[in-house]
């Protein structure tokens, strides 16, 4: 009897999806099939691989109506927001457009005596371990360029969103991507680790917790398998005295609360210049107080449940500890009757400091702390006072000032007058405990391939 993975729906706690996991033996056979099929896939003209992947994305888009409701059941995002296909299409299209540049050989010399160049070679089989919070977009970030680069791909999706991989596989297979080349697999943690330790994959891309990333590194130890790791985050926003206040409040609070705060680059802490602090907080409280927490299948719901009760309980603990230590909670609980479980009211905290877990540890939920700062130096020190470094959001009318500050922030991406966005033309990367490597952009292609040098002497 094989083990199973279960998705407990955050809507009502019921078992929404259950799937058997592959045994190690069955998974090893699947890897062998991928390795056998990969050379023929890589030998196809680049234009052909791109065309099939583009067709697969289009077919995925045709499933969107069905996908939106199933996402609500799996991870709680309200149906009113319409799913992820806009972001999926933007990222996939950009990576297809960048393929020729990202995979182009580097020509060193080509004359009557020599041809010297560096070529990009696919790793072979790439394992993509994707998270549940933006389950299509995070998977597509690596799946699309990996396939276009000539790799075979194993997709192991989070147990909270098991239907996602099935949808992607169905779309790609219908578009002519061979079944052995793109495989959606259900694997236990032990089986995944055993495959990595056995050098089953040429590259592994993992998006998830710091602990999960550490487990990947342990499994890969001594194998020399390449790893791309996007892990935790505690992304800051800094609102300077010359910022467009309304735009800053609207954007940063949406960045903190959208998807119930479950965004990789969501805003988790905000620093505001003294002159704008009171007005910023007042406007922020008004926005959050107008949210409607409820069943994500209801079109009127603007804030759904968190994906799992344990995630909500962590945020409850962080918030309660902060209040006990002197923080002030500004959102009236009477506006959001406690439904318990995964349904968690949003909260804004002031009078916070970095001694509190809510300002240091990843919350990944609908809570944000707001602090007053005197100047840029104080803001920079606070933004850097974190074990994480994914994105930072700066709000000012002065681009030179923003660039000066950006150069001093320990982070992967800096936004000016924007947040909670991923530009697929730029490298998606982080530092410190946020991880290693980089996805998307031409650099994404470089990480999903290896360089191979050619020194050809004529005559």
Residue with tokens 């609500």: 72
Q: Are residues 413 and 324 in the same domain?
A: yes
Which residues contact residue 5 at a Cβ distance below 8 angstroms, ignoring those fewer than 6 apart? 18, 19, 21, 159, 162, 186, 188
Q: What is the pTM of this model?
A: 0.97
Confidence of residue 398 (pLDDT cuts 50, 70, 90): very high
Q: Are residues 197 and 279 in the same domain?
A: no
Q: Would residue 444 count as lying in a domain?
A: yes
Q: Count other Cβ atoms within 10 Å, centred on residue 94.
A: 19
Mean per-residue pLDDT for 412-421? 97
Q: Are residues 93 and 239 in the same domain?
A: no
> What is the per-residue pLDDT across 131-189, written as a single tens digit (0 to 9) for each?
999 999 999 999 999 999 999 999 999 999 999 999 999 999 999 999 999 999 999 99
Q: Which pLDDT score, from 0 to 100, does residue 339 have?
A: 80
Mean per-residue pLDDT for 40-45? 98
Active site (catalytic) residues: 230, 264
> What is the per-residue pLDDT across 299-353, written as a single tens digit (0 to 9) for each?
999 999 999 999 999 999 999 999 999 999 999 999 998 788 999 999 999 999 9
H or E stretch at 348: strand 347-350
Q: Are residues 453 and 418 in the same domain?
A: no
Q: Are residues 279 and 418 in the same domain?
A: yes
Q: Would residue 387 count as lying in a domain?
A: yes
Q: Are residues 127 and 198 in the same domain?
A: yes
Q: At what angle do helices 162-174 and 135-148 cross, to 10 degrees?
A: 40
Q: Are residues 244 and 184 in the same domain?
A: no
Number of separate domains in the chain: 2
Q: Would residue 438 count as lying in a domain?
A: yes
H or E stretch at 98: helix 85-103
H or E stretch at 67: helix 64-75
Q: Would residue 429 count as lying in a domain?
A: no
Q: Count other Cβ atoms within 10 Å, centred on residue 114.
A: 14
Buried b (16+ CB within 10 A) or exposed e, 242-270: ebebeebbebbbebbbbbbbbbbbbbbbb
- The C-alpha angle 280, 233, 307, rounded to 5 degrees, equals 90
Q: Which pLDDT score, from 0 to 100, does residue 167 have?
A: 98
Q: Would residue 10 count as lying in a domain?
A: yes
What gap in Å lies between CA 86 and CA 217, rounded to an integer? 33
Q: Which pLDDT score, from 0 to 100, does residue 337 have?
A: 85
Q: Are residues 227 and 266 in the same domain?
A: no
Q: Would residue 57 count as lying in a domain?
A: yes
Q: Are residues 142 and 242 in the same domain?
A: no
> What is the per-residue pLDDT across 52-81, written as a single tens digit (0 to 9) for each?
999 999 999 999 999 999 999 999 999 999
Q: Are 439 and 141 in contact (CB under 8 A)?
A: yes
3-state secondary structure of 96: helix
Q: Are residues 342 and 451 in the same domain?
A: no
Domain range spanning residue 64? Answer: 4-231+434-457
Q: Are residues 280 and 213 in the same domain?
A: no
Q: Are residues 283 and 227 in the same domain?
A: no
Q: Which pLDDT score, from 0 to 100, does residue 20 have?
A: 97
| Whether residue 1 has pLDDT greater than 70 | no
Q: Which pLDDT score, from 0 to 100, does residue 385 have?
A: 98
> What is the per-residue pLDDT across 275-290, written as a single tens digit (0 to 9) for each?
999 999 999 999 999 9
Q: Would residue 166 count as lying in a domain?
A: yes
> What is the per-residue pLDDT across 247-275, written as a single tens digit (0 to 9) for each?
999 999 999 999 999 999 999 999 999 99
Q: Would residue 329 count as lying in a domain?
A: yes
Q: Residue 261 maps to which CATH number?
A: 3.40.309.10
Q: Which pLDDT score, from 0 to 100, does residue 2 have?
A: 61
Q: Residue 138 maps to which CATH number?
A: 3.40.605.10
Mean per-residue pLDDT for 226-233? 97
């Amino acid at each position: 009897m094989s083990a199973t993975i279960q998705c407990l729906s955050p809507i009502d706690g019921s078992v929404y999806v259950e799937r058997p996991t592959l045994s190690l033996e069955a998974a090893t056979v699947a890897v062998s099939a991928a390795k056998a099929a990969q050379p023929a896939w890589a030998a196809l003209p680049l234009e052909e691989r791109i065309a099939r992947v583009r067709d697969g994305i289009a077919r995925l888009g045709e499933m969107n109506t069905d996908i939106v409701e199933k996402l609500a059941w799996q991870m709680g995002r309200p149906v009113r927001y319409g799913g992820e296909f806009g972001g999926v299409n933007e990222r996939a299209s950009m990576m297809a457009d960048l393929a020729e540049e990202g995979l182009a050989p580097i020509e060193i010399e080509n004359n009557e005596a020599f041809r010297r160049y560096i070529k990009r070679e696919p790793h072979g089989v790439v394992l993509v371990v994707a998270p549940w919070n933006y389950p299509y977009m995070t998977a597509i970030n690596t799946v699309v360029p990996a396939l276009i680069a000539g790799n075979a791909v194993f997709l192991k999706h989070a147990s909270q969103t098991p239907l996602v991989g099935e949808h992607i596989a169905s779309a790609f297979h219908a578009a002519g991507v061979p079944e052995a080349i793109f495989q959606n697999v259900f694997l236990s943690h032990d089986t995944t680790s055993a495959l990595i330790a056995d050098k089953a994959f040429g590259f592994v891309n993992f998006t998830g917790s710091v602990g999960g990333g550490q487990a990947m590194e342990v499994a890969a130890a001594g194998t020399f398998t390449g790893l791309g790791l996007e892990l935790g985050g505690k992304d800051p926003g800094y609102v300077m005295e010359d910022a467009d206040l309304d735009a800053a409040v609207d954007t940063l609070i949406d960045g903190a609360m959208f998807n119930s705060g479950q965004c990789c680059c969501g805003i988790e802490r905000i620093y505001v210049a003294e002159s704008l602090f009171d007005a910023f907080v007042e406007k922020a409280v008004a926005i959050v107080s107008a949210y409607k927490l409820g069943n994500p299948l209801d079109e009127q719901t603007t804030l759904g449940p968190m994906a799992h009760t344990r995630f909500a309980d962590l945020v409850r603990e962080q918030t309660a500890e902060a209040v006990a230590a002197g923080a002030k909670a500004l959102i009236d609980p009477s506006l959001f009757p406690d439904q318990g479980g995964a349904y968690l009211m949003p909260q804004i905290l002031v009078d916070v400091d970095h001694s509190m877990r809510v300002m240091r540890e990843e919350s990944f939920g609908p809570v944000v702390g707001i602090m007053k700062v005197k100047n840029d130096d104080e803001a920079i020190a606070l933004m850097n006072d974190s074990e994480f470094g994914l994105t930072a959001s700066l709000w000012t009318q002065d681009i030179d000032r923003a660039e000066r500050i950006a150069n001093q922030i320990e982070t992967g991406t800096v936004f000016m007058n924007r947040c909670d966005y991923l530009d697929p033309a730029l490298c998606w990367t982080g530092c410190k405990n946020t991880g290693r490597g980089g996805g998307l952009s031409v650099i994404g292609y470089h990480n999903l391939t290896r360089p191979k040098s050619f020194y050809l002497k004529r005559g």
